[in-house]
Structure 1
Amino acid sequence: MSYEVLARKYRPQTFAGLTGQEHVSRTLQNAIDTGRVAHAFLFSGARGVGKTSTARILAKALNCEQGVSLEPCNVCPQCKEITDGSSTDVFEIDGASNTGVDDVRELRDNSRYLPSHSRYKIYIIDEVHMLSTNAFNALLKTLEEPPPHVKFIFATTEPHKLPITILSRCQRFDFKRVPLIKIVGRLREIADQEGIVISDAALALVARKGDGSMRDSITCFDQVLAFCGNTVADEDVATLVGVVDRRLLAELSSAVFAGNTQGALEGVRRVDAFGYNVRQFTQELIIHFRNLLIIRSVPKPGEILDLAEAELEELRQQAGEQSAADIQRRLTLLVKAEGEMAHASFPRLLLEMALLKMANLQPVLPIQQLLDRIKHLETGIAQTTPELWSAPATAQQSTPRNIAPPRQEAAAASVAPAPVAPAGGVGGGWERFVTFCLEQKPALGALLEHGSPLAYAPDRIEIGFPEGSYYLTSLQDVDNKKAVDALAALYMHQPTVVKVVSITAAGDGASPCSLAEKKKHDEEQRRDSIQREVNEHPVVQEALRVLGGEIVEIKEL
C-alpha cells in the first residue's frame, strides 16, 4: 500500500478543522446559514494556509446530499467524491497550466449546462493570477452574470496581479499566516495520533521552519519522522531543518550581557564549526535580541511575539535585569554588522568585532539619574559663576543692563551647604526600583516617587504615604497593588511582599523622605546657592552700587 503523506492525510475536511483561519470559516458559515452565498469568491494568502482546502470544504457544504449545511457530512457520495477529487460537478483547475483564452472559453461554454447529479457546478481555479489578460476578459461576462447553478472559487498568492474588473466581481477573503503556537498545537495533535514521541521545543523548531504555512510545517514534520522514526530528539530536528540551535543563541547573548568576551568568541567558533552560514546566523541573532528588546519594552510581549509560552519564559530569564536601552544599543551594532556582511570578504570577522563591542558596552544610566547627579554636584560643590546674569536696575537709567562677569577659574567664596541627606532607603536600591517601575509603567512609577521607603529588602518592601493623600488611595487600589507586586517580583527575581501603609500608622519615628521630596529639596538648595552666589559676586555688587539698582530676577542662560 502506498504511503500517504501527512499533509494529505491530515488535510482539514470541515470548517472546524481549519487552523488559524477562524475569521474565514465563521463568515462562510454565516453566509450559508442566512442564504447569502455569493456566486464568486477570491481566497488570497500565503502558500499552505488553507485556501484550496477551504474551497473544497465550501464545495462539499453546498453540494452535500444532507442539504446545504454549515458543515459537510463527509460520508455521502458527493462529499467523498469532492474529497477524492473525482466529482464530475466540482472542477479543480490549475491556473498556471490553463492560462489561455481557449481554456476559459471552454469553461464558460460548459458552465451553461446543469450539474449532472449535484446541487451546484463549482469551479475552483488555483493560482488564478496566472491567467492571461485575454483569458480574464473572456471570463468577465460569465463571472458577472453566471447561471444560478454555478459557483466560482478563485485562489491566489498574488491578488495584486488580478485585474480590478475581476476583483470587483468577487467576495474576497484574505487568509492569514498561521500563528506559531497554533501550528505547534496542530503538530502535537498529529504526533499524538501517530504515536510519535517528540518535545514541544522540537515541534516549535519544525513550526518555525514552516514560516506561517501549515502545509509546509506538516511536510517538514513528515521529513523529520522519515529521518528519526517514532522517537525524535531535539538535536536531530535542529540538524535536519537547518535552523540555529536556540541554546547557542541563549549562550551567546548571556556571554554578551556578562561581558564575557571569551565566551562570545567561543560561540562564533562553534557557529563556524557547525557549518552555519555566518550571515544567516547573524540574522537569527538579530531576531533573538529583537525578542529580548520587546520583552523588556512592553508589558504583554506575548501579543506581539509569535512564540510559545515556554519560549517567552526562557527569553524573560535571559533578559534578566538588562534595560531596554542597553539591549537596543547592542541590537543596533548587530544590524550594522549584518548590513556590512553583504559586501564583506570576512563575515566572521565582522560578527566577532560586533560581539566584542557588545560585550564591552557600558550600561546606560537613565537621563533622570544623570540629572539628579548634576543637581547634587551643583548644590554640594562650589560652582563656577554662570557666564551671563540678567540684573535689571531701578536706578537713574530705566533700561535694564546685562552684566557679564568674567569666567572665574577658582571656586566661589561662599560654598552652599550640602543638602540634607534623605533617610535610609531612598538612595540605592529603592531609587533603582522606582526607576525600574518608571520604565515599565510610568504612571505607577510616578505614584511611587511620592512614597517613603519604610522598609526595603528583596523579600519585603513597605511604602508609606501621607494619610488621606491621593497617592495612598491610588496605591491601595486593587489593580495598582497587583501591578506593584508584579513589578517587585520581576525586579527582585523572587516573591516580594509589598505593603502600602499610612505614614501616621507607620510608627512614631520620623519617616524617610520620598524621592519627590528629595528632588524638591535639591532644587531649592540649588536655587539658594545660585541666589547667594549672584548676590555675593563682586562684579554684581559693584554694578548695583554704581547704578543704584536692585536685583529683580535671576535667569540662567
Structure 2
Amino acid sequence: MSYLVLARKWRPQTFSDLTGQEHVSRTLQNAIDSGRIAHAFLFTGARGVGKTSSARILAKALNCERGMSPEPCNECPACLEITAGTSVDVLEIDGASNTGVDDIRELRENVKYLPSRCRFKIFIIDEVHMLSTNAFNALLKTLEEPPPHVKFIFATTEPHKVPITILSRCQRFDFRRIPLAKVVARLRYIVDRENSAISDAALTVVARKGDGSMRDSLSVLDQVLAFCGENVSDDEVVALLGVVDRRLLLDGSAAVFGRDSRAALGVVAKVDEFGYNIRQFCGELIEHFRNLTILKAVGDGAELLDLSEAELALLREQVEPLALADLQRHLAILLRAEAEMAQSSFPRLVLEMALIKMATLVPVVPVDELLGRLRALESGTPSAAVVADSRVQWRPAAPAGPPAARSTVAAAPPVAPAGLAAPAAAPRAPQRPAPTETLPRTGDSWADFVAYVKAGKVRLGSLLEHGSPLQVSAERLEIGFPEGSFALGSLKENDAQAALRELARTFFKSEPALVLRSLAAGEDAAVPNLLEKKRVEDERRLNDLQQNAKAHPAIASALEVFSGELAEVAPAEKDNR
C-alpha cells in the first residue's frame, strides 16, 4: 500500500477538527441548525488554511444520510464517498484547468439534473479566480437563481480577482492564517499518534517554516520525520530546514544591547559559517527586534506576536532594561541595512556595519531634558548634572595611549560664556507683568527689578542684565551700557523704552526718570552688571565644589585605585521627590 502523506492522512473530517477557523465553523454549523443555508459560498484565504477541507465537510454535513447536522457522521456511504472524492453528486472542479466558457456551459447543463443519491448536488470550484471573464459571465444567471437542489462552494486565494458580480451573489468567509501556537498544538497531537519523539522547540521551528499554513507545516513535518526517523533532535531540524537558529537572534540582540561589537560580528560569522542566507538572517533579525519593540511598547503583547510561551519569556527578560526609543532606532538601522542589501554585492559587510553601528549607538537625550537645558541657559542659571545624594559620579575615560587613564566626572551641560547675552527669546504675544508680590525680594533693588522685568518681558530682562545700575530709585533709573553695545541700541527703541517705563512704574509704584547712558571705553561703572556678578559667583561656587570633591575620601580612593585624575565637577540637582 502506498504511503499517505500526513497532510492527507490528517485532513480535517469534521468542523471540530478545523484548526484556527472557529469563526467559519460556528457560522456554518449555526446555518445548518437553523436551516438558513445559502446557495453559494465563497471561501477565501491563504494556502493550506482549510478552505477545500471546509468545503468537503460542508458537503458531507448537507448530504449525510443520517440527516443534515452540524457534524457529519463520516460513516454513511455518502460521507465516505465524499471523503474519498468518488461521489457523483459532489463535483470538485479545478478552476485553473477549466477556465473557458465551454466548461461553464457543461456545468450549467449538469445543474438541471437532480442528484443521483444525495440530498444536494454540490459544485466545489477551487481557485475560482482563474476562470475567464466570459466564463464568469456565463455563470452569473445560474449562480443567482440555481435550482433548489444545487449548492455552489468557491475557494480562492485571491478574492480581489473575482468579479464583484460574483462576489455579490455569494456568502463570503475569510479564512485566517493559523496562529503559531495552534499549529504547534495540532502538530503535537499528530506526532503523538504517529509515535514520534520530537520536542516542542523543534515543532515550533516546523510550524514557523509553515508560515501560518497547516498543510505546509504538515509537509515540512513529513520531511523532518523522513530525515530523522522516529527520534528527532532540535539540531537536526535546524540543519535540515536551513532556518536561522533562534539562539543566534538572541545572541545578536544581546551583543547589541551589551555594546559588544566583537560578539555581534561573531554572530554574523556563525551565520556565514552555517551557510545561512545573510539577507534572510537580516530579515529574521528585523522580525526579532520588532517583537522586542512591541513587547516594550505594550507590555504583554502575546496576542500580537506569533511566538511560543518559552520564546516570549526569553524576550521579556531581554527587553526589561531597554528603552523604547533605542529599540526603535535599532530597528530603523536594520531596515535600512536590509534595503541596502538588495543592491549590494557585499551583504555580509552591510550587516556587519549595521550591527557595529547598533552596538555603538549613543543613547538619545529626551527632548524635555534638552528644553530644560535651554531654559537654564536662557535664565542664566547654571545647569547641574544629575548626581544622586549630591555625590560626584565618575566613569573611566577611554585610554588615549599610555596605560595611565584619566577619569572624568559626569559633566554638566555648558553654561553661556560670561559677557555674552543669553539667547533672545522668540517674539511673544504681550503678557501682563506679574505683580511684585509674586516675586521674591533679595534686597538688591536692581536685581529685583531685572527679575521682575524678565518675568513679564524675557527679552527686555535679558538686555538689562548687560547694564550697570548707575542710580536705582523711585525718582531716577539710570543704567549704563558699554559704548556701541547691542543691548543699548535695542533698549533705545521707542517700543522698548515705553515697555520699560511701564514696568518701572509698576515696580517702583512711581514715575522714575529713565536714563540710558553710554559708557566710554575705560570708564568703569560703580556696580558691575548682573552677568559679571553671576560669572564671579559661578567661578567661586565651582572652585568650592572642586575643593570639596578632592577632599571627599571616596573620590580620592577611586582616583588612586584607577590612577585617574579629576577632570570636571558639576553641582548636583536637588531631588524633589
TM-score (norm 2): 0.69
Residue in structure 2 matched with residue 271 of structure 1 by the alignment: 271
* Contact residue 7 and residue 218 of structure 1 kept, 8 A: yes
Does the 8 A contact of 2:29 with 2:70 survive in 1? yes
Q: Give the match for residue 34 of structure 2.
A: 34
CA contact 2:180–2:306 (8 Å) conserved in 1: yes
* Cα shift at 1:13: 0.7
Deviation at 1:82, TM superposition (A): 0.6
1:532 shift after superposition: 8.8
- What is the CA–CA distance in structure 2 between the aligned matches of 1:319 and 1:390, rounded to whole Å? 41
Paired residue type of 2:501: G
Offset at residue 367 of structure 1 (A): 3.0
Measured after TM superposition, the shift of residue 366 of structure 1 is: 3.0
How many percent of aligned residue pairs carry the same amino acid? 64
Give the secondary structure class of the aligned counterpart of 2:198: coil
**1:540 shift after superposition:** 7.9
CA distance in structure 1 between the partners assigned to 2:143 and 2:244 by the alignment? 49
Matching residue of 2:105: 105
Rate the CA distance shift 1:544–1:240 in 2: closer, same or farther, 3 A: farther
Which residue of structure 1 aligns with residue 467 of structure 2? 538
1:255-308 CA distances to partner (integer Å, 9 max, x unpaired)? Answer: 111111111111111111111111111111111111111111112311211211
- Paired residues of 2:337 and 2:350 also in contact (CA < 8 A): yes
| Residue deviations 1:381-421 (CA, integer Å, cap 9, x gap) | 68654354899xxxxxxxx9xxxxxxxxxxxxx999xxxxx
> Is residue 2:203 matched to residue 1:203?
yes
Q: Say whether 1:55 aligns with 2:64.
A: no
Taking the aligned partners of 1:352 and 1:338, their CA distance within structure 2 comes to: 12
User: What are the within-5 Å matches in structure 2 for residues 69-468 of structure 1?
Assistant: 69-372=69-372, 379-380=381-382, 385-388=421-424
Deviation at 1:380, TM superposition (A): 3.9
Moved more, 234-243 or 245-254: 234-243
- Whole-angstrom CA distance in 1 between matches of 2:180 and 2:257: 28
Relative to structure 1, is the Cα distance of residues 539 and 37 closer, same or farther in structure 2, using a 3 angstrom cutoff?
farther
The alpha-carbon deviation at position 374 of structure 1 amounts to 5.6
Q: What is the CA deviation profile of residues 83-135 of structure 1, one whole-angstrom value per residue up to 9, with x for unaligned ones?
A: 11111111111111111222211111111111111100111111111112222
Asked whether the equivalents of residues 422 and 462 of structure 2 are also in contact (C-alpha less than 8 Å), the reply is: no
The aligned residue for residue 463 of structure 1 is none
The answer as to 2:494 corresponding to 1:551 is: no
* 1:386 counterpart letter in structure 2: A
Alignment of 1:490-505 (within 5 A): none
Could you report, residue by residue, the CA deviation over 1:34-60 in whole angstroms, capped at 9, with x for unpaired residues?
111011111111110100000000000
**Aligned-residue offset at 1:537:** 4.7
Aligned equivalents of 2:71, 2:54: Cα separation in 1: 12
Preserved contact between residue 544 and residue 550 of structure 1 (Cα < 8 Å): no
Q: What amino acid is the match of 2:302? A: G
Alignment partner of 2:313: what SS?
helix
SS state at 1:73 partner: coil
The CA distance in 2 between the partners of 1:193 and 1:366, in whole Å, is: 57
CA spacing shift, 1:385–1:105, aligned 2, 3 Å = same
Closer/same/farther in 2, CA of residues 533 and 146 from structure 1, 3 Å limit: closer
Please state how far the C-alpha of 1:372 moved relative to its aligned partner.
Answer: 4.9
Question: What is the distance in 1 between the residues matched to 2:39 and 2:105?
Answer: 18
Which secondary structure does the structure 2 equivalent of 1:549 belong to? helix
Change (3 A) 1:16 1:537: same
**The structure with more radius of gyration:** 2
Which blocks of at least 5 consecutive residues in structure 1 are unaligned?
A: 392-399, 401-413, 417-523
Question: Are the structure 2 counterparts of residues 253 and 114 from structure 1 closer, same or farther at C-alpha, using a change threshold of 3 Å?
Answer: same
Structure 1 residue 208: deviation in Å? 0.9
Contact 1:535 1:541 in 2 (8 A): no
CA contact (8 A) 1:44 1:175 kept: yes
- Per-residue CA shift, 1:182-241, capped at 9, x if unaligned? 111111111111122212111111111111111101111111111111111111111112
Cα deviation, residue 536, structure 1? 5.8
SS in 1 for 2:232: coil
SS of the residue corresponding to residue 66 of structure 2 reads: coil
Aligned AA (2:37): V
Aligned residue identity for 2:330: R
Shift of 1:320: 3.5
Check 1:536–1:143 CA distance in 2 against 1; reply closer, same or farther (3 A cut). Answer: closer
* One-letter code aligned to 1:42: L
What is the letter of the counterpart of residue 57 of structure 2? I
Is the CA contact (8 Å cut-off) linking 1:201 and 1:234 kept in structure 2?
Answer: yes
| Distance of 1:379 and 1:415 partners within structure 2 | 14
User: Shift of the alpha carbon at 1:371?
Assistant: 4.4
Residues 501-536 of structure 1, C-alpha deviations (whole Å, 9 max, x = no match): xxxxxxxxxxxxxxxxxxxxxxx9x979x8997776
Q: Which moved more, 1:45-54 or 1:140-149?
A: 140-149
Unaligned runs of 5+ in 2: 384-414, 428-432, 434-445, 480-496, 508-577
